[in-house]
Chains A and B, each alone.
Chain A
Amino acid sequence: MSIDRETVLHIAKLARIALTDDEIELFRSQLSDILGHFDVLDGIDTDGIEPTAQILPLENVFAPDVSRPSLPQAEVLKLAPLTDDGYLRVRAVLE
């Protein structure tokens, strides 16, 4: 399985990152390698095995509906590069 240049560009666009031509080729080959590993898995006989989305033997891990104190506002704001009157400030995201 190999990934083409267009797919790399599409993924880069979704992730909002700009890539140089060298990087496009680098990621094209690395991503193709990763998918290559799945080809190995495809070769395994999985007849009679239930498909699952989870590898842990867990289910129904719930928290009771009780609230806990949150962080002080100052702690939250301290983590942001830019703040404004109690808000986190980000670049325009109007579509």
Chain B
Amino acid sequence: MTSTSATKYETVIGLEVHVQLQTRRKMFCGCSADYADAVPNTHVCPVCMALPGVLPVINEKAVESTVMTALALNCSIPAYSKFDRKNYPYPDLLKGYQISQYDLPLSERGWLEVEVEEQPPRRIGITRVHLEEDTARLTHKTDEAGESYSLLDLNRSGVPLMEIVGEPDLRSPEEARAYLVKLRQILRYIGVSKANMEEGNFRCDANISLRPRGATAYGARVEVKNMNSFRAVENALRFEAERQTRALDAGASITQETRGWVEGEGTVSQRSKEGADDYRYFPEPDLPPVTLTAAQVEAIRAPLPELPDARRRRFEQEFGLPAYEANLLTESRARAEYFERVIAAGAGSGDASRRKRARAAANWMIGDFARLLHASGLEIDDARISPADLCAMIALVEDGAISGTSAKAVFEEMFQSGRAPAAVVRELGLEQISGSDEIAAIVDRVLAANEKPVAEYRAGKQEALKFLVGQAMRESRGRLNAAALTETLTAKLREKA
């Protein structure tokens, strides 16, 4: 994209996200919704197979999860909602229609705050969050004679599917990605879905158009599908924005169409789909409407956890943490809660020392702890080290019982064994050497063994001091207090000069 084109047009993006809800049963029947590793066509019953005479019944948990999501996305919840039939001739639902929600969804008009690096946060509108059912999985094949056919697995058919429709408020591929990352984070925080794009329980379709900067009318829009990672969404949108820019620059017009993202190739035109009218939506006669009183909505809101943005701001204020650290700590609900348990374990200390401890806890959690978890492929909930033990270890460092260097070894051992810090310190013989005689003895040995660096330091080469500190640390296996060591070392170097 040339720089003039980049400023000439404004990119307009709206995302539709489909999320599989984590429920035990399917949306309208009793089949298990947990089909991930199941043999094909083993989570099937007369209802999701659309046999004549069956009656669907709404899964209550799916309604609650949808309303809970809508509340987390600042939507309003109408008192009356209903389901509709969306008719289409495709065998991924044997009924010949999908039960969805057309004109009276469970929620509407919300927003999500999105932040792209270096820019102030922006509110992206949420049109609606509604509930429908997932479709069967089709695999396309060709036989020896060259005849193509499709294989149908009904296990996914009828799994609760929540659709989150966003307003065309996004203005760049980066912002679209940030929106998805934030949305996934919230869904995981409130625990309604695994929200894993690679596993297919979080899917995204994007509408993208360009318009001359300053214009208010939207340009012809293209729907982009088949993106199965955040990176793919961003790349597909960037490709599409550039393609449309070139077309407009060349004086061509944009065809309103659906395009599929093909990795390594770009977006590719797909056959045009039927217009909205052709779905012949009509109210689902087998399902009575859903009505929600204000009290019922509040009952669903009550168990909502503190959401990531609120928590991040509180971490910044309450613990004086920098935005970067507060952001990392609140990335997942489990990590944020672990952090708070570490702080709670050290309760009773004053505000200043609480903040100091919070900084230390944050450093451990973002540093060594995150590294070890990653290396061993564990989530924080699987960690053997308890929040109370991490707190106790931080206290040992604060009190000078172990050095910062030793703490790393202690932490690693605690991480592996899950044992308490005091026991680990004793076992590894890592109690900090704080007696001045002991420190002096070690320093004397180091000075005697390193005549050349000593001479260099005395000749004015400051870096030699670092080397000597390192030697003393090695001599003591990291058990020396760094400040006390440096003090003794410089004093002795001066004294013998």
Contact = CB atoms under 8 A, between A and B. Distances in A.
A, B: real partners: yes
Given A88-B152, A89-B150, A54 B288 contact: yes
A86 B44 CA distance: 12
Given A59-B289, A67-B33, A92-B149, A79 B49 contact: yes
Contact of B60 (A56, A62, A84, A86): A62
B450 interface: no
Contact of A89 (B42, B57, B149): B149
Contact of A66 (B24, B51, B138, B151): B24
A46 interface: no
B91 A90 contact: yes
A70 B43 contact: yes
Contacts, number: 130
A15 interface: yes
B45 interface: yes
A94 B44 contact: no
Contact of A90 (B45, B60, B152): B152
A65 interface: yes
Nearest to A77: B41
Given A63-B25, A77-B41, A54 B148 contact: no
A60 interface: yes
Given A14-B280, A63-B58, A71-B45, A91 B31 contact: no
**Secondary structure dominating the interface of B:** loop
Contact of A67 (B25, B91, B287, B289): B25
Nearest to B25: A67
B59 A65 contact: yes
B40 interface: yes
A70 B45 contact: yes
Contacts of B33: 67
A54 B40 CA distance: 36
Contacts of B58: 61-63
A59 B288 contact: yes
B44 A76 contact: yes
A84 B32 CA distance: 23
Given A54-B82, A67-B30, A93-B150, A60 B278 contact: no
B41 A63 contact: no
B82 A53 contact: yes
Nearest to A72: B42
Interface residues of B, number: 54
B32 A67 contact: yes
Interface string A9-33: 0000011100000000000000000
Q: Which of A62, A79, A94 has the most CB of B within 10 A?
A: A62
Given A67-B33, A94-B140, A60 B290 contact: yes
Contacts of B42: 70, 72-73, 76
B271 A95 contact: yes
B266 interface: no
Contacts of A89: 149-152
Contacts of A85: 151
A68 interface: yes
A43 B93 CA distance: 38
A67 B288 contact: no
Nearest to A64: B60
Given A67-B24, A67-B30, A95 B57 contact: no
B283 interface: yes
B291 A60 contact: yes
Nearest to A75: B44
Interface string B74-104: 0000000010000101110000000000000
Nearest to A10: B278
A37 B229 CA distance: 52
A64 to B, nearest CB: 6
Nearest to A86: B40
B57 A93 contact: no
A72 B140 CA distance: 25
Q: Which of B24, B32, B283, B289 has the most CB of A within 10 A?
A: B289
Nearest to A62: B60
B465 interface: no
A70 B32 contact: yes
A58 interface: yes
B61 interface: yes
Interface of B: 23-26, 30-34, 39-46, 49, 51, 57-63, 82, 87, 89-91, 138-140, 147-154, 270-271, 274, 278, 280, 283, 285, 287-291
Interface of A: 14-16, 53-54, 56, 58-68, 70-73, 76-77, 79, 84-95
11 contacts: A60-B289, A63-B25, A63-B57, A65-B25, A66-B30, A70-B45, A73-B39, A76-B41, A84-B151, A91-B149, A92-B147
Query: Considering the complex of A and B, which 3 residue pairs feature the smallest CB-CB distances, nearest first?
Result: A68-B30, A53-B283, A65-B61
